[in-house]
Amino acid sequence: MTNLIRLIAALLAFSLAVTVHAETRVPQSRAEIATGFAPLVKQAAPAVVNIYARRVVETRRNPFMDDPFFGDFFRGFGDPRPRVQNSLGSGVILSGDGIVVSNFHVVGMATDIRVVLSDRREYSARVVLGDEESDLAILQLDDASDLPHLGLRDSDRVEVGELVLAIGNPFGVGQTVSSGIISGLARSGALTGQARGYFLQTDAPINPGNSGGALVDVNGDLIGINTSILSRSGGSNGIGFAIPSNLVAQFVQQARDGNDRFERPWAGMSGQPVDADMAGSLGLSIPEGIVIADLHAESPFAQAGLEVGDVITHVDGLAVNSSSEMLFRMSVAGVGATAQVTRMHGEERQDIDVAMIAAPDTPSADERSLGRDSVLPGLTVARANPAMIARLGLPLSTDGVVVTAPGPFGARAGLRKGDAIDRINRARVATTADVVDALRDPGRWVTIELSRRGQPVQLRFRL
């Protein structure tokens, strides 16, 4: 009885104190209050599924197998052994024909995926689009039709204090529902694997197995995909994170369009959040936005007239206060769209339309892998262009030829992925063909001068 009284009080307080969006419906009678969340759960739970995924990986018994020197001595020994990795998580059905969203860390690289509905129906599934950085994956169920599914709510309209339910399969015990509120917005950072960006924060318990499950509002609409917790013990301590539904909508759209990898707009820009110490010198009354520190010549922001030193405060009317928020807003807009960017240029505030484009793959990357006639076989290099800079996460000023894969011999010589090669044996390197030629017959000694994250490095080895 005490729990029921607390629930009634929370619902009444919510309906009186919080200004909700027009579609929100609060309990209309004592009978509706007494039933709690039961009608909402009956509506939403059938669209939340359990996901069982596995992949086969090969491990080597001998650690010297890939070594360029010792590998010859151990050739034929320590054959690869297959090992099965299993993962358990949740997912949400978003269409009647079997489009399901889950976390990349649940289904990414899986060779066998089985999806089980709440009514025990089972389907095999395949990943049609996945992105480790966003930790999202879109699945297609085989031979599915007329499935229960959830609608997507505009996550930008979500407010702190709203009641929410988290539905998933924690610890593999079966479908479970937990309740809470939205306790924070615009949370960013590396939370799960490579996931980074903008998250909704909730105190609804999210435990292992809840990953990929639904975070729904009081109308049964999806507002986020549960992805991780902040915990020292591994259990839920009241801080959970969900990927907003607006980003999920962009993933679904790209999957529908036939993309097999997520394409996010390229900013060609780097910046830093404006803090209290910087605000005064930038002519701002309060700390807000991000100040542009560097711009690539091909950046759409540069093409639209923005300059180094400008402060970007809003994208499409929504505040941005970190690089991850900026990336999220651009990703939600999508490639091919135009975003309205608000900037402060001195004391002047302007709204500027910026085209959302993919990183240009010009000039041609001309990626090449060195063959057996090279002193570093397996080394792969490419011409630095905006697409390659974005792919490798390199500084915007990177130019010339970059290492995309060092190969076993290159790694042993000290080369790393992302290194920008300047000279080989004092000869200037301008193209990938220059690298191929320089390493075909370099002489007894090889000296490679390169730039690593902006720092000069010299490698020298004897053949």
The closest of 184, 211, 158, 176 to 51, measured between CA atoms, is: 211
Q: For residues 332 and 324, is the Cβ–Cβ distance under 8 A?
A: no
Q: Which residues of 432-450 are buried (b: 16+ CB within 10 A; e: fewer)?
A: bebbbebbeebeeebebbb
105 is known as an active-site residue: yes
Inter-residue contact 233 to 57 (CB < 8 Å): no
**Is residue 296 annotated as part of the catalytic site, yes or no?**
no
Question: For the chain, what's the residue count?
Answer: 463
Q: What is the DSSP letter of 153?
A: P
Separation of alpha carbons 185 and 160, rounded Å: 7
* Separation between Cα atoms, residue 440 and residue 445, nearest integer Å: 13
The answer to whether 199 touches 242, Cβ cutoff 8 Å, is yes
Asked if 89 contacts 95 with a C-beta cutoff of 8 angstroms, the reply is no
What is d(CA 116, CA 319) in angstroms, rounded to the nearest whole number? 40
Angle subtended by helix axes 245-256 and 323-333, to nearest 10: 40
Report yes or no: 18 and 159 within 8 Å, Cβ to Cβ.
Answer: yes
Instruction: For tokens 């899986």, name the residue.
Output: 110
In the DSSP assignment, the letter for residue 152 is B
The residues that bridge with 461 in the sheet, in sequence order, are: 446
Measured from the Cβ of residue 395, the count of other Cβ atoms closer than 10 Å reads: 15
| Tokens of residue 33, six digits | 């209050």
Q: How far is CA 136 from the centre of its chain?
A: 7
Selecting among 105, 236, 323, 451, the annotated active-site residue is: 105
CB 226 within 8 A of CB 212: yes
135 is catalytic: yes
List the catalytic residue out of 135, 203, 217, 422: 135
Identify the active-site residue in 102, 211, 299, 451. 211
Start-to-end C-alpha separation, the chain: 81
Q: Which residues are catalytic?
A: 105, 135, 211
